[in-house]
């Protein structure tokens, strides 16, 4: 939703909107994880390391793609990814 607001309401270019959205989500995730750990929730170290590793790898790949792509291609790719994620969430909600 934040990405949609940044692009449609505030008129940000998609690259700037994605960067701003990720920057804001970093602090949201950080405060959530700190409070989770404060209440005694310990992460599985293997899962944590794998998440960090794959995030760094795929962020690098996505940055190379985004820097070479036109805004139209980025808009379409973002739309496709968001629709696919929506379908996956809906499908998993039906399974449970």
Surface-to-core class of residue 6, CB atoms within 10 Å of its CB (0-12 exposed, 13-18 middle, 19+ buried): buried
Measured CA to CA, the distance from residue 39 to residue 70 in angstroms comes to: 45
pLDDT on residue 15: 81
pLDDT of 15-44, one tens digit each?
888 888 888 988 998 898 888 888 887 888
pLDDT of 39-94, one tens digit each?
887 888 898 899 999 999 998 998 888 888 888 888 888 889 889 999 999 999 99
pTM, two decimals, is: 0.57
């Amino acid at each position: 939703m934040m990405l949609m607001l940044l692009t449609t309401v505030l008129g940000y270019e998609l690259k700037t909107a994605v960067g701003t959205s990720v920057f804001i989500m970093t602090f949201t995730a950080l405060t959530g994880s700190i409070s989770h750990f404060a209440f005694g929730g310990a992460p599985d170290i293997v899962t944590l390391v794998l998440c960090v590793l794959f995030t760094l790898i795929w962020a690098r790949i996505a940055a190379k793609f985004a820097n070479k792509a036109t805004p139209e291609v980025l808009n379409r790719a973002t739309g496709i990814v968001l629709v696919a994620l929506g379908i996956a969430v809906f499908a998993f909600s039906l399974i449970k």
